[in-house]
Amino acid sequence: MQLFQNQQIKIYNSLSGKKEILKPINEGHIGMYVCGPTVYSNVHLGNVRTFMSFDMVFRYLKHLGYKVRYVRNITDAGHLENDADTGEDKITKKARLEQIEPMEVVQRYTVDFHNILNTLNFLPPSIEPTATGHIIEQIELISKIIDNGFAYEVNGSVYFDVHKFNETNEYGKLSKRKLEDLIHNTRTLDGQSDKKNPQDFALWKKAEPQHIMRWPSPWSDGFPGWHLECTAMSTKYLGEQFDIHGGGMDLKFPHHECEIAQNEAAKGISPVNYWMHANMLELNGQRMSKTTGNTVNPDELLSGKNKFFSKAYNPSVIRFFNAQSSYRSVLDLTDDGLLASEKGFYRLMDAVNLLENLSPSDKSTIDIKAWKQKCYDAMNDDFNSPILIAHLFEAAKYINLVKEGSETLSQEDLNIFTETINNFVYDVLGLKNTSKNDSGTDKLSGAVDVLIKLRQEARANKDFALSDKIRDELAAVGIQLKDGKEGTTFSVN
């Protein structure tokens, strides 16, 4: 018997706005699609947070014994600037600026994406399709939508007729937006004269002469609209209806709304039973933004080479930090938050490492089976990882009490206890057993802190020669000191 037969998962469905019991279309099987990155730059840390949340969902479903087909796409064409139907393709623009081929851009940043996710201990998806690899499927989908009367062609471009669709369907049901309100709040923009209405969106765009990425179609040499690829690829690999569609909160409108409309227009059915959306990641209480400089790349967070954080952080500490917040909550990334998570992570690992040395007794004074079910209850409640972690810290307390002799566990319960902890810490949360002293990072931090204090004393005594010598000799071995309002921090180059 598989675990899922005894565990009932509830998922918050963005479509209904409430938690619903997960009932797979095919018993024992789950089809899950998550919108992947547009590979024109280094992967955004906010996107990593989203992918990490769904990596945990994937892991838990697999742990329960479901056969999961997890599809996460790569957008390598068709994503225009500002998510609009005008402007330049993001990848083409990057290629033009760097004077390289678009597929060189795609290759570079796809490799970066995979490297970051591998470092953070992600499981690979079952299938990772690309937009450029499914142009034929997208053209076929457009033809069906046109044949069903929900799209029109103008000057070689094809647009989805939102108003026509809304006569028989409900455009906006996922994002809870009414078409009437969208009409009222839409300004007529120059360059959109081909559209019947500003709310219509592109299914196919005719390529301008300077546009590098183009494919032949019945309407023109051009490229598909951004929303179309996910509809084509999700249904190709998961069927016309599948279980779970995930992505960031920012994709709910218009991207996911358009996906629903395209599928209903082409096939007459809503494609997804459970829509899941991960919330935003902030940096020091503010939205991440390249224009304001309030942003940090994943590799900068991992290496410590940035202006926001006092040190480099272990990949498992970053995963642990992410899991301490519900995927549906806004998560504020701060140095204090990461430092607290680091302490909690190593405290948990210290306890876990004591497990193999615990001695069993004739009987148990702790109800391990009840504790075990609480761990499952947490994850069954919309993948509530913060509550799961609270139960894992409860387990850490039990471990220390058994070690001290204040509590006892039978051999059977000790086996259950050990297996359950390993399952949730490693298989579900995706953490790695990293000791506090494995890399020598904390010893280094302690040594540098001593030197920083000596330097502060030298400056207070106006011994600036010694102060500068400490700074310069640390710099010579790759340790940079940073003086700020909050004191002196360091980074390792």
* Strand arrangement of the beta sheet that strand 242-248 belongs to: 67-72, 29-34, 242-248, 272-278
∠ at Cα 227 (129, 111), nearest 5°? 35
Q: b/e map of 240-268 (b: 16 or more CB within 10 Å)?
A: eebbbbbbbbebbebbbbbbbbbbbbbbe
Contacts of 478 (CB under 8 A, 6+ apart): 492, 493
Any known ligand binding at 35?
yes
Q: For residue 133, with 0-12 CB atoms within 10 Å meaning exposed, 13-18 middle and 19 or more buried, which class applies?
A: middle
- Does the annotation place 137 within a ligand binding site? no
Name the residue with tokens 């196919």: 204
230 is in an annotated binding site: yes
284: Cα within 13 Å, side-chain hemisphere: 10
67 marked ligand binding residue: no
- Phi first, then psi, for residue 366 (nearest 5°) are -120, 135
Residue 307 Cα distances to 80, 296, 303, 335, 493, angstroms: 31, 9, 12, 11, 13
Distance CA 122, CA 78 (A): 27
Q: Is 259 annotated as a binding residue?
A: yes
| 3-state SS, residue 37 | coil
- Could you give the CA distance from residue 264 to residue 240 in angstroms, rounded to a whole number? 10
What tokens were used for 104?
């060189």
Task: Give the span between the Cα atoms of 445 and 313, in whole angstroms.
Answer: 12
Q: 249 phi and psi, to 5 degrees?
A: -60, -30
Residues in the chain: 493
CA distances from 195 to 88, 137, 153, 154, 472 (A): 18, 24, 9, 8, 63
8 A C-beta contact, residue 323 and residue 389: yes
Going by the annotation, the residues of the binding site for ATP are 290
Going by the annotation, the residues of the binding site are 35, 230, 255, 259, 290
Going by the annotation, the residues of the binding site for Zn(2+) are 35, 230, 255, 259
